[in-house]
Amino acid sequence: MSCSRSDMQEVLKPSGTSTPIIAPNSAEPTTVDNQWQRLEPGLEFREIGYDVTNVQVLRIDPAYFRLRIGYDVASPGRVSEWAAALKPVAVINGGYFDPQGRATALTIFDGVVNGTSYDGFGGMLAVDSADAWSLRSLREQPYDSSELLNQALQSAPMLVVHGAAIEQPNDDGDKARRSVIALDQAGRLLIIVCSWPSFTLTELSQWLVQQNLAIDAALNLDGGSSTGLVVSSESRSFKLDSLVRVPQVLLIERK
């Protein structure tokens, strides 16, 4: 898919919420924890039980992979369609978008800057000119237009900062499908999805720091019907498709 330029507006609500058609087989809490499974050098996969579902976690080593933002307002696609078109190792949906399909915050793809940064809230995943990854709170460290960034996406809210769960004063108590990106203490990227509406934002924030994931920072992405993750590795494939077309995705590509 190509990338296109657009203006953006500030929206805090998820772009869509939906409940999966098929419910989990059991109403009993699941306790599965498969530990880390090596899919290929620098790429690991894990499933952790929560409530009546599983949370999928992908761990990516920057020594083996690069990050890239996909953005296409004119021709958005389901996450599986982005995967089929661009053939990354993995792809997850991005941040929020408005009814016209425009991202509601700053987007940078291949050095092209679109939109306006969130101010005083939210967070940003960025790749600088040296191909180094960072994930930061925009309240703590606002975006500076003089920064030399090759890739960036913004979303809200931050769930974990400096290894601590963040209070969620705007949590309305709704449970939804969830998409999360995080950096661990070793600088690896974690991609986290939950296909069942099991977490409020507060519960998700607390759950992330309770797991042995060594998370330093975590950012909530658009959830609900936008949640999607497709993995196509050397040893395993995984697909949790979005239920709607999304204009922005995060791509994981081999170096």
Amino acid of residue 200: T
pLDDT value at residue 31: 59
Cβ 125 vs Cβ 152: under 8 Å: yes
Amino acid of residue 27: A
Mean pLDDT in residue range 78-83: 98
- At 203, phi and psi to the nearest 5? -60, -40
Share of residues in the chain with pLDDT > 70 (%): 88
Up-side HSE of residue 94: CA atoms within 13 Å toward CB? 38
- At 151, phi and psi to the nearest 5? -140, 145
pLDDT value at residue 254: 98
pLDDT value at residue 4: 32
Query: 69 is written with which tokens?
Result: 């933002």
Identify the band that residue 34 occupies on the pLDDT scale cut at 50, 70 and 90.
confident
Residue 179 has pLDDT above 60, yes or no: yes
pTM of the model: 0.89
Residue 174 has pLDDT above 60, yes or no: yes
- CA–CA gap between residue 243 and residue 255 (Å, rounded): 30
